[in-house]
């Protein structure tokens, strides 16, 4: 009997929280390489920093010098400026973008990701799309991408997570 296929992970977002999570995920997929592909894509909204593309800086220096300076990312984290390219082969999508961009991002990814993919939202906040009802970000992801989405929340600070300090968090559905 063939071993189950290894899972591919994409971190959708690269601010300080996204970069901190990418650091942890990158190390863990290497540690558990019997279950995960070791290459982790990270969607990076392209910006110019010191006359260079942020994706180029991250891929060359293995550091997000703009949003998480001083913290090296594992070499298996690959910054990708096209969200569809970053996410299309992923089995696990870790969402860490500002909440106000989630609907547009979902519209971009709809029908361009694996139908079996699962999401994990690390996005803080909620949405009032129609101005009356509060909607959880994880439910927006589920509804708009037609995938199951879990939530990871806690009193976590990106720099403390990147420093691998003890943190408490809750994962739910």
**What does the domain layout of the chain look like in residue ranges?**
7-172
Top CATH class, 7-172: alpha beta
pTM over 0.85: yes
CA distances from 81 to 12, 78, 87, 116 (A): 10, 10, 11, 23
What is the SS3 assignment for 23? helix
pLDDT tens-digit map of 104-143: 999 999 999 999 999 999 998 888 877 778 999 999 999 9
């Amino acid at each position: 009997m063939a071993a189950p296929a290894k899972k591919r992970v994409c971190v959708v977002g690269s601010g300080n929280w996204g970069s901190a999570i990418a650091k942890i995920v990158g190390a863990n997929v290497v540690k558990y390489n019997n279950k995960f592909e070791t290459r982790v894509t990270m969607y990076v909204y392209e910006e110019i920093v010191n006359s260079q593309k942020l994706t180029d800086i991250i891929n060359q220096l293995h550091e997000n010098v703009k949003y998480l300076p001083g913290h090296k990312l594992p070499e298996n984290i690959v910054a990708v400026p096209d969200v569809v390219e970053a996410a299309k082969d992923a089995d696990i999508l870790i969402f860490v973008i500002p909440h106000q961009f989630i609907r547009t991002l979902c519209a971009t990814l709809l029908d361009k990701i694996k139908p079996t993919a699962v999401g994990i939202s690390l996005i803080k906040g909620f949405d009032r799309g129609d101005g009356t009802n509060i909607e959880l970000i994880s439910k927006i992801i589920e509804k708009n991408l037609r995938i199951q989405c879990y939530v990871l929340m806690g009193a976590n600070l990106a720099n403390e997570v990147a420093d691998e300090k003890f943190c408490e968090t809750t994962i739910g559905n």
